[in-house]
Amino acid sequence: MPNRRVFLKDVAGAAGLVFVGCGIAEAAQSRPAARAGRRPVLVRGRRITTVDMHAHCAVPRAVEMLKRPAANQGSDDPLMLAGQALAQRLAVMDTQRIDMAVLSINPNWYDVDRDLATEVIRVQNESLAAFCAAHADRFAAFASVALQFPDLAAQQLEHAVKTLGLRGAAIGGSVAGKELADPMFHPFWAKAESLGVVVFIHPQPAATPDLARRLRGNGLLTNVIGNPLETTIALSHLIFEGTLDRFPGLKICAAHGGGYLPSYMNRSDHGCVTFPAQCQAGVPKEHPTAYVKRMFYDSLVFTPEALRHLVAEVGAGRIVMGTDYPYPWVDAPVDHVLATPGLADADREAILGKTAMQLLGIAGT
């Protein structure tokens, strides 16, 4: 990925959002513009609604309040991020055959005090809600929450879902050095479970200083390895610490295909068998793979074979489409799903949008 240094420009849409990314303005412009609107996606001759569950944005006012760049995807160099106009954003969605994008904001506020966190989240969630209300046919959004204050995060989530119409929460894979399985976060998990909303877990690269040090150097390893590793650690703790037993109704969706966990999950089943002295009796209650198969994952695994394998491990019904927009990881996310071998039409329809709409409580078009 080119390490361009570009700067935040306030080219916000109707409600003060920018679609952020490193060098994305250039990347997006290099794609063919959608001139004739969306080319519909058909499965068995019937038009389906396609949903991108993994799409980023930032709220410039919140960025200014935090006095730091919007969270990026893991460069050690503190890249500033470019804003992008709504028309350009929609053109790329049309080109990619995405009917609806579910926006999330990568957390970069987990270390700030309660007053500032309260205000940042208020501004972000109100901006997301206003934007989505104005463009309800193309956008939905996950709430941001101040997870370093779990009681506050629970209140923010409830307000965002019940009053603002947001569709769940997007959180990091750890919170200022604390694992998501830490009992301090139980109030948040309890609230998410009782509301029945999905929690989208997106890794924060370099969240662990020791690991970040090892991932320095050429190749942006903080991102390419650090991100899937962070997700793997986060999900594993939620399983092995019993969090998912305590809150069995949780709906968790992990970015980037769940990182490394689904592709090597059977080792987790054998750990406590091989080293029983290292495991608390009865925790977790079931085989770890049972929990992996119960969570949801985006399709950002790059090749049809990788997606075929993810489907084989967790089932087509557990996968939703994700692009990581505006980071230019993928050009043709729909074709990626359609090209995956072994999928039935119902599987394709589920991955491309149906499962996401069910998780989000959105009616199809």
- Are 173 and 199 in contact by the 8 Å Cβ rule? The answer is no
Dihedral pair phi/psi, residue 4, rounded to 5°:
-75, 150
- Does 298 contact Zn ion by CB under 5 A? no
Question: Judged by CB, which is closer to Zn ion: 54, or 135?
Answer: 54
Rg (Cα) of the chain, in Å, rounded? 19
Count of CB atoms within 10 A of residue 137's CB? 8
- What six digits make up the tokens of 133? 């209300």
Per CB under 5 A, which region of 15-23, 85-93, 290-298, 319-327 contacts Zn ion?
319-327
- Are 50 and 335 in contact by the 8 Å Cβ rule? The answer is no
Dihedral pair phi/psi, residue 179, rounded to 5°:
-75, 150
Compute the least distance from the CB of residue 158 to Zn ion, in Å: 25
Size of the site for Zn ion (CB under 5 A): 1
Question: Judged by CB, which is closer to Zn ion: 150, or 205?
Answer: 205
- C-alpha distances (whole Å) from 53 to each of 60, 82, 141, 178, 287 are 22, 21, 9, 25, 28
Give residue 198's Cα distance to chain centre: 11
Compute the least distance from the CB of residue 224 to Zn ion, in Å: 13
Per CB under 5 A, which region of 149-157, 290-298, 324-332, 335-343 contacts Zn ion?
324-332
Compute the least distance from the CB of residue 54 to Zn ion, in Å: 6
Question: Judged by CB, which is closer to Zn ion: 127, or 204?
Answer: 204
Compute the least distance from the CB of residue 155 to Zn ion, in Å: 26
Question: Judged by CB, which is closer to Zn ion: 54, or 97?
Answer: 54
Alpha-carbon dihedral of residues 173, 175, 178, 182, nearest 10 degrees?
-80
Compute the least distance from the CB of residue 265 to Zn ion, in Å: 22
Residue of 94, 324, 347, 349 interacting with Zn ion (CB under 5 A): 324
Residue number of the CB closest to Zn ion reads 324
- What six digits make up the tokens of 337? 């799903």
Compute the least distance from the CB of residue 55 to Zn ion, in Å: 8
Q: Hey, which residues does 101 pair with through a beta bridge?
A: 52, 139
Q: Hey, which residues does 141 pair with through a beta bridge?
A: 103
Per CB under 5 A, which region of 154-162, 317-325, 333-341, 352-360 contacts Zn ion?
317-325
Per CB under 5 A, which region of 19-27, 213-221, 246-254, 320-328 contacts Zn ion?
320-328
Give residue 218's Cα distance to chain centre: 26
Question: Judged by CB, which is closer to Zn ion: 284, or 326?
Answer: 326
> Beta strand pairing status for 174-175 and 178-179?
antiparallel
Nearest CA among 225, 185, 179, 232 for reference residue 205: 225
Compute the least distance from the CB of residue 199 to Zn ion, in Å: 15
DSSP 182: S
d(CA 117, CA 145): 8
Per CB under 5 A, which region of 163-171, 218-226, 299-307, 318-326 contacts Zn ion?
318-326
Compute the least distance from the CB of residue 292 to Zn ion, in Å: 20
Asked whether the bond before 248 is cis by omega within 30 degrees of 0, the reply is no
Compute the least distance from the CB of residue 119 to Zn ion, in Å: 25
Question: Judged by CB, which is closer to Zn ion: 290, or 329?
Answer: 329
Binding stretches for Zn ion (CB under 5 A): 324
